[in-house]
Amino acid sequence: MLGPFLIVLLCGQTYAQPDPLPSWNDGSAKTAIVEFVKTTTEKNSPKFVPAEARIAVFDQDGTLWVEHPMYSQVVYCLDRVPAVVKAKPDLAKIEPFKTVLSGNREAMARFTMPQLEMILAATLTGMTVDEFTAEAKKWLESAKDPRWKRPYTELTYLPMQELLKYFRANGYKTYIVTGGGQDFVRMYSGQVYGIPPEQVVGTAGGTSYRYDKSGKPFLLKEPKLLLNDDQAGKPQAIHLMIGRRPYAAFGNSIGDKQMLEYTQAGDGVRLMMLVHHDDDKREYAYGPKSKVGTFTDALMGEAKKKNWTVISMKDDWKQIFAFDK
Amino acid sequence: MLGPFLIVLLCGQTYAQPDPLPSWNDGSAKTAIVEFVKTTTEKNSPKFVPAEARIAVFDQDGTLWVEHPMYSQVVYCLDRVPAVVKAKPDLAKIEPFKTVLSGNREAMARFTMPQLEMILAATLTGMTVDEFTAEAKKWLESAKDPRWKRPYTELTYLPMQELLKYFRANGYKTYIVTGGGQDFVRMYSGQVYGIPPEQVVGTAGGTSYRYDKSGKPFLLKEPKLLLNDDQAGKPQAIHLMIGRRPYAAFGNSIGDKQMLEYTQAGDGVRLMMLVHHDDDKREYAYGPKSKVGTFTDALMGEAKKKNWTVISMKDDWKQIFAFDK
């Protein structure tokens, strides 16, 4: 009777793999991920995808890290306003800069889109690429989220970090496809997500090529929108920047709908998933009326109709942040 | 006396590497390349560059393959005109389409830039991305260069193919940065150069996101220029698409000047090289007056002033094409 015992034991040892997604509870979401990865990467699978075609795209705000109550890049822009006003004192007298200087966050929450765009243009353009990078880096190292009192870069979701690693371990090239500023996200994507700058696709402005007095060239960030990487802009940007259709796409809001549709329209097996913020204790629960990451009823309808898998933060995630006990 | 002999023999065996650039003659160009790669990749080098920062960019037309007497993509567009006119017969009566249909290549060579743009817009836009890819693929498989009677994709320079492989073997990520159409070059870059589509940066038009009658989404190529990847547009596109400054840049014309300047403006060691078409027997010799790949006197002056290395096709390349005997 020792023989079969040994075989069972050895087989057990051979096949037992450590769980690549330990922060995920068992359930339909985790199953969908593991099944997809196996189906597309196991050599004898009829749905095998060659390594070079394995592209997975991830929205950032609300999908990989916290976006509530305000995108961290918007916080960055608001924090930059005093320095901008110092350089151009006339701005202090006009809106929306006047309100930003007053510190009244409730009034700021009521800014219209054109007002927000004025702030973005004033704080993200008109400097060289190198100057922008230096400023933003300084901010990221010092600024803290008011609820968790931690740097924004620590507010990434542990289950999604595991997912990124799991995909990469299986030959997938992971991309961030974000409505956030491309230059901003690229600055920390390597350190925070293990994603190099060239695999970050974001909203991007134009630059102009100039020379300083010594004849040395530099790129100046211009207030000219090149890519608006949201909604239909996401598949357009994926085509422009990657040139291949993804096999897997992760989002959390109505702005990700087209990216998921575009992914699904490819042949073979594709994976479309949406993170649903339904955990008001450990993170946030916000619905159609939120200003950020709108998970509308229409989006939930689309998900059901098109068989997209909804990830419940509350039920599917055992742990949310790496710093959670 | 056997001992030292053996040591010499063993050392010889240990250190003898096959020449990674066998189609290059010994000379300043080959030396500059090998020195650069060693300096930036050998672990104890004071100018060591970490693997993730190793970016090398290559212009395509005239740098990686033949561009004379006409860019192959322009030939493609001209070849597509009859099909376009068949779909829109009114075009047959107006210029520049009338001249294209006449087959008079000399008259075509005199097209103005706005006329060429009309042809590009008519032949490269107004169809879905998938339709474009299918058409262009068909053409690439059948069209032949009139001088060598071979598919255009065989007219790549063997020494540059060796260079691409040599860089990649040393951890460099190789990118094409071309004035040519991004969608066009991406179609064959993998097969022809071993460069995946996402590492092709080119002139790119916008797309619109649409749905067919069954509700399936697709991208339509629009006649709207997003990136003009030439001259100052090259460093701008590199910033947009890669987000890092290259360590090495290869070009062959005045349109590559800014890309080389931008590369050189980085810290540490950088490599800037220009292919000079001075071989009228084995390929072409063309100078400032050529319509393509203009290597102006001013560019040669820049190269001298800025210590860019000029590659002489005649002197530095032992063999030009893989099919050469």
Residue of B nearest to A226 (CA): B226
pLDDT at residue B154, as a whole number: 97
C-beta atoms of B261 and A206 within 8 A: no
Bridge partners (DSSP) listed for residue B202: B178
C-beta atoms of B243 and A197 within 8 A: yes
pLDDT at residue A294, as a whole number: 75
Residue of B nearest to A233 (CA): B209
Q: Is the model's pLDDT at A321 over the cut of 80?
A: yes
B288 vs B40: which has the higher pLDDT:
B40
Residue (of B271, B317, B242, B274) closest to B53 by Cα position? B242
pLDDT at residue B1, as a whole number: 45
B262 CA to chain A: closest CA distance, Å? 6
Q: Is the model's pLDDT at A3 over the cut of 80?
A: no
Mean pLDDT computed over A25-44: 98
Q: Is the model's pLDDT at B282 over the cut of 80?
A: yes
pLDDT at residue B207, as a whole number: 98
Cβ proximity of A54 and A171 under 8 Å = yes
C-beta atoms of B241 and A52 within 8 A: no
Q: Is the model's pLDDT at B291 over the cut of 70?
A: no
Query: What's the rounded Cα separation, in Å, for the pair A225 and A121?
Result: 10
Using alpha carbons only, how large is chain B's radius of gyration in Å? 22
Mean pLDDT computed over A234-256: 97
Work out the mean pLDDT of chain B and round it to a whole number: 93
Reduce the DSSP state of residue A55 to 3 states and report it.
strand
pLDDT at residue A113, as a whole number: 86
Measure CB to CB from residue B265 to each of A52, A217, A240 and give the nearest one.
Answer: A217
A111-143 pLDDT, tens digit each: 998 999 899 999 999 999 999 999 999 999 999
Confidence band for A1, pLDDT divided at 50, 70 and 90 = very low
The pTM score is 0.93
Confidence band for B15, pLDDT divided at 50, 70 and 90 = low
C-beta atoms of B258 and A196 within 8 A: no
pLDDT at residue B105, as a whole number: 85
Query: What's the rounded Cα separation, in Å, for the pair B32 and B30?
Result: 5
B167 CA to chain A: closest CA distance, Å? 18
Residue (of A87, A110, A86, A88) closest to A96 by Cα position? A110
Considering only A86-95, B266-275, B294-303, which range has the smallest mean pLDDT? B294-303
Mean pLDDT computed over B218-241: 97
Residue (of B145, B131, B129) closest to B74 by Cα position? B145
Q: Is the model's pLDDT at B168 over the cut of 90?
A: yes
Q: Is the model's pLDDT at A180 over the cut of 80?
A: yes
pLDDT at residue A270, as a whole number: 98
- Kindly give the interhelix angle for A257-264 and A297-306, rounded to the nearest 10 degrees: 10
B190 CA to chain A: closest CA distance, Å? 10
Work out the mean pLDDT of chain A and round it to a whole number: 93
Q: Which residues of B touch A52 (CB under 8 A)?
A: 190, 196
Residue of A nearest to B219 (CA): A236
Mean pLDDT computed over A249-264: 97
Residue of A nearest to B187 (CA): A243
Query: What's the rounded Cα separation, in Å, for the pair A310 and A316?
Result: 10
Q: Which residues of A touch B243 (CB under 8 A)?
A: 182-183, 186, 197-198, 200
A6 vs B280: which has the higher pLDDT:
B280
Q: Is the model's pLDDT at B253 over the cut of 70?
A: yes
Confidence band for A242, pLDDT divided at 50, 70 and 90 = very high
DSSP letter string over B121-179?
HHHHSSSBHHHHHHHHHHHHHH-B-TTT-SBGGG-B-HHHHHHHHHHHHTTPEEEEEEE
Q: Is the model's pLDDT at A12 over the cut of 70?
A: no
Confidence band for A69, pLDDT divided at 50, 70 and 90 = confident
Query: What's the rounded Cα separation, in Å, for the pair A219 and A209?
Result: 5
Considering only A7-16, A49-58, A138-147, A198-207, which range has the smallest mean pLDDT? A7-16
A278-293 pLDDT, tens digit each: 999 999 998 766 666 6
